[in-house]
Structure 1
């Protein structure tokens, strides 16, 4: 059964976007606001850089954060697994 998708209209860096996905309206709002805030921060730090390059830089930062969190989650799962194995012994 396919997931229900909702639509959310957002303004990010002065441009209008329609975001479509299975997440809640609130989730999409928070995501859009976060992206807009981060792009505004990058704009201040990288004066003269094009919108496209700022967007790529933001994507690189987001993927880097995602990979770091994934690694941390795997380490936590491993510690839990080790702890459970020690309790059985």
Structure 2
């Protein structure tokens, strides 16, 4: 088993503190937490009556949607690059 160093960082997301443990750098973990917090606050500003659980689910849906769009874009760019190289 590898001995990958793990960082332990406390972050604040939507007013709640979480301890995040992972191999990513502390700055990366803080950036991820900050983006989640921003997205939750953005969604809450448009839907102030949502409970925290629904807000968290909508935030996750938004994040996965953005991720899938990026995956599709990368795939298109890789295909284009392959055509250019051939």
Note whether the superposition's TM-score is higher than 0.5. yes
Show structure 1 runs of 5+ residues with no match. Answer: none
Query: Shift of the alpha carbon at 1:41?
Result: 1.2
Query: 2:56 matched to which residue of 1?
Result: 55
Which residue number in structure 2 is paired with residue 42 of structure 1?
43
User: Cα deviation per residue 1:39-88 (whole Å; 9 max; x = unaligned)?
Assistant: 11111110111000010000000001111100100110111111110xxx
Indicate the structure (1 or 2) with the bigger Cα radius of gyration.
Answer: 1
Structure 1 SS opposite 2:5: coil
Q: How many residues align?
A: 85
Matches within 5 A, 1:20-39: 20-39=21-40
Structure 2 residue ranges without an equivalent (≥5) = none
* Whole-angstrom distance in 2 between the partners of 1:4 and 1:56: 30
TM-score using structure 2 length = 0.93
In 1, Cα distance between the equivalents of 2:4 and 2:54? 33
In angstroms, what is the RMSD of aligned CA positions?
0.9
TM-score (norm 1): 0.90
